[in-house]
Amino acid sequence: MTEKPLILVTNDDGINAPGIRTLISVMNTIGDVVVVAPDSPQSGMGHAITVDATLYVNKVKVDDGPQTEYRCSGTPADCVKLAIRELLNRKPDLCVSGINHGSNSSINVIYSGTMSAAVEAGIEGVPAIGFSLLNYAWDANFEASKSFVENITKEVLKNKLPDGVVLNVNIPNLPLKDIKGIKVCRQAKGNWVEAFDKRQNPSGKDYYWLSGEFINLDSGTDTDEHALENGYISVVPTQFDLTAHKFLKELNTWNLNR
């Protein structure tokens, strides 16, 4: 590629989050960067899109650097749609989302706004990567992530992701010297065991807070959870053809047409 790649950057923690600021700083060393990110945190939004409400977009200057930036009132998936259809002059060469404050490994990929942005780009035929650091804190330290984010991004630009596949990258919350490397993994089977916290509001009406604990139900050593627990960065190729192809044959033997 002789001209610089056009890189779309987004996230779900909002345009001011330290994670996206780190991602922008790395992408500025690789290509021409346009940021289109939510104006407020959107965690847990899954693949939500705004179908029944208006969307606002504002060009902003958040910090120094060559990037162009827009903040958007919508979800991460909205940001990607708006960027590709309205804001960018040409189709981007890459979309990166994150760096998320918190894990998107295992079943978390389903609830993840970070990954929904990457998937949305993938649906539009744009190679895409979601990056997440296993630290939910706003002041998480993203320094150790930088060189890995750079390497993975360059590999995606050099090689080609197949049609219909994006990458889900999770980074353990460790100092650089303790990160053992990168492992290609499958998504671990796991779920959240919710413990709803039931309270009463000042008027005496019951309400709930969702809380819970993630449980890894997968004893495999080829999973993202296993890699992360052992100090590796996990890279899971992630698809949006949700068909359970292996079950098609058996389902065809069912007596669905009576």
Backbone angles phi, psi at 80, to 5 degrees: -70, -45
Q: Smallest distance from the beta carbon of 241 to a second copy, in angstroms?
A: 6
Kindly give, in sequence order, each residue whose CB lies less than 8 Å from that of residue 73, ignoring residues fewer than 6 positions away. Answer: 38, 39, 54, 55, 56, 57
Binding flag, residue 90, a second copy (CB under 8 A): no
Q: Report which of 113, 106, 30, 110 is spatially closest to residue 79, judged by C-alpha positions.
A: 113
Looking at the Cβ atoms of 139 and 213, the one nearer to a second copy is 213
Binding flag, residue 89, a second copy (CB under 8 A): no
Please tell me whether 73 is known to bind a ligand.
no
Q: Smallest distance from the beta carbon of 138 to a second copy, in angstroms?
A: 13
Binding flag, residue 29, a second copy (CB under 8 A): no
Contact between residue 256 and residue 246 where contact means Cβ atoms under 8 Å apart: no
Dihedral-angle region of residue 125 (phi above 0 means left; psi in -120 to 50 means alpha; beta otherwise): left
Site for a second copy, residues 98 to 137, rule: CB under 8 A = 107, 109-111, 116, 119, 123-124
Rule CB under 8 A: choose which of 5, 14, 18, 46 binds a second copy: 46
Binding flag, residue 184, a second copy (CB under 8 A): yes
Kindly give, in sequence order, each residue whose CB lies less than 8 Å from that of residue 142, ignoring residues fewer than 6 positions away. Answer: 18, 19, 22, 99, 133
Q: Smallest distance from the beta carbon of 25 to a second copy, in angstroms?
A: 20
Contact between residue 88 and residue 126 where contact means Cβ atoms under 8 Å apart: no
Stretch near a second copy under the rule CB under 8 A, chosen from 1-9, 10-18, 60-68, 232-240: 232-240
Task: List, as residue ranges, the binding site for a divalent metal cation.
Answer: 12-13, 43, 100
